[in-house]
Amino acid sequence: MSALSPEIEPYDHGLLDTGDGNLIYWEACGNPAGRPALVLHGGPGSGCSTTARRYFDPDAYRIILFDQRNCGRSLPSAADPQTDLSLNTTWHLVADIERLRACLGIDTWLLFGNSWGSTLALAYAETHRDRVAAIVLSGVTTTRRSEIDWLYRGMAPLFPEEWHRFRQAIPPGTQGRDEDMVAAYHRLLNDPDPETRLKAARDWHDWEAASILLADPQGLPRRWTDSAYLLTRARIITHYFSNGAWLEDAQLLKNATRLTGIPGILLQGRFDIEAPLVTAWELARAWPQSELSILPHAAHSTANPDMSAAIVAATDRFRDI
């Protein structure tokens, strides 16, 4: 039996005008008078999902989700090569979260972030700690240089065939082909030729699929059949990772003392290849009010029954904070 709450639909939604040409899609689910909770999706650029609404008791929580800049239902879309991503950075997203909080009249809220969403949750909480009541993170990342390098070079020995295809998909002579895969794919994803961009997006996701299929035997996300989704997500990810997410290296871990007083639960699969356990362990040591829970049979996927049950149990603990 699933630990997730029943499927629900939003009772409200809208587009938040950031004032710089971006419109951010948001939605609210659950109890309008409940404890506010904000869902921060992964990627970056994956967009929010209907499943994420179900990690919270809808009678207890006012559940807020939004599509981060240029993905999902937010406008303009990164799938359009004319969309300028220069105004899409970690710090733009932090400002968007704070703007959304004020727009919705929320004083403090619980943050839930998975994968990249955990990086964004930490960046926001370390900047606006007085607005954060509690934090639940899964698949913990801080987007350090070493974490990016692990994803696009360090994992190669675990998936040699897939890595070979990932490298060979870059045309010979392309700058970065033998050193910086993120930068090389970033160039291809911004190429003037639409077929070059689409092939790069598919090749990028084929590499990521190797670890996802290992973590989630249910298969790849259905959204991955959508070419526009692949282009959006790959273009945003390479934009962020080629710029180190606009974070000083290890910034979020170094500044973890700013989280003092905020209770947190860190949920980490023992077999998470995409976000190895060491990051969650280091964060737990730097953040005294956090509690690290290691799930022995889980990996990176939140679809894992143990992981989804742990997320629901964690949000249940914070219902009355």
Catalytic positions, written as ranges: 115, 272, 300
Measured CA to CA in angstroms, residue 307 lies from 110, 296, 297, 317 at distances of 19, 10, 9, 15
Question: 122 and 167 in contact (C-beta within 8 Å)?
Answer: no
Closest to 303 measured CA to CA, from 226, 223, 213, 229: 213
Q: Name residue, tokens 């406008």.
A: 75
Q: How far apart are CA 63 and CA 131, in angstroms?
A: 16
Question: 68 and 93 in contact (C-beta within 8 Å)?
Answer: yes
Q: How far apart are CA 2 and CA 38, in angstroms?
A: 22
Question: 93 and 111 in contact (C-beta within 8 Å)?
Answer: no
Q: Name residue, tokens 């839930």.
A: 112
Closest to 15 measured CA to CA, from 69, 82, 51, 62: 69
Measured CA to CA in angstroms, residue 296 lies from 145, 219, 220, 267, 284 at distances of 27, 21, 22, 11, 17
Beta carbons within 10 angstroms of residue 90's beta carbon = 22
The DSSP element (H or E) to which 212 belongs, if any, is: helix 194-215
